[in-house]
Amino acid sequence: MLSEDDLVRYSRQIVYPHFGKKGQEKLKASHAVVVGVGGLGCAAALNLACAGIGRISLVDDDVIELSNLNRQILHWEQDVGERKTISAMKKLNTINSALEIDAVCEKITEDNVYDIIKGANVVINGLDDFETRFVVNSACVKRNVPFIHAGISGLLGQITTIVPGKTPCLSCMYPDIPPAEDTIPVFGVTPAFMASLQVAEAIKLLAGFGETLGGRMMYFDGETMETYYEDMIKDPNCIVCGSAGSRSQENR
């Protein structure tokens, strides 16, 4: 149930016609896992906390560097050298003390990913490498947890929502892991914008209204301020969500 403080804090959301008190109660009862607490993850976690997601788990094994501060908005100068999850947790607890914030200082692997997403209603991608994204994508499909993917480079961004059993997954679109870039250019505005869209998708999924980007990849070009969409085609032989994935799961 919503407290009196909740009714005041979220009053401007509650008046939204398709949301209301029931929508806010659903957010309060939800658990979001943010994997990666960098540019995308910081902005996503901040917006999740402001929206009133009841429990937020922050997952990252990295520490803060000075070069992170142009985009990772939950980390400040005095935090350089501290673990990203701890820094972010402290800020979120200050912003909204009523929430449950977990700091998971671990590198995501195939061995621990299922424990990390256990009990999650949605997983938000803030990772900067495709290899780990694929590990999380596979685990979310197998555990039937929606996975909201976003990626950025410079002023370019992409986002889609993966709903297991209903939409193509990340492996359908990328059968092979793309090669890693040595240094990804990034302006802070790009992850801030894409993360805001990720949280908008999460709110709709958790509260049960509106339409998501399921089955479509949205691309954003900050140089031209253009957006365009590409339909994602479900691969029947996908090793994660297709027949090949089903056979692999049966054999585990």
Residue pLDDT, tens place only, 86-95: 999 999 999 9
Q: Do the Cβ atoms of 41 and 35 come closer than 8 Å? A: yes
Region 166-185 average pLDDT: 88
| pLDDT greater than 50 at residue 172 | yes
Dump pLDDT digits (tens) for 54-83.
999 999 999 999 999 999 999 999 999 999
Q: Provide the mean pLDDT of the chain.
A: 95
- Per-residue pLDDT of 214-233, as tens digits, reads 999 999 999 999 999 999 99
Which has the closest alpha carbon to 126: 54, 75, 51, 66? 75
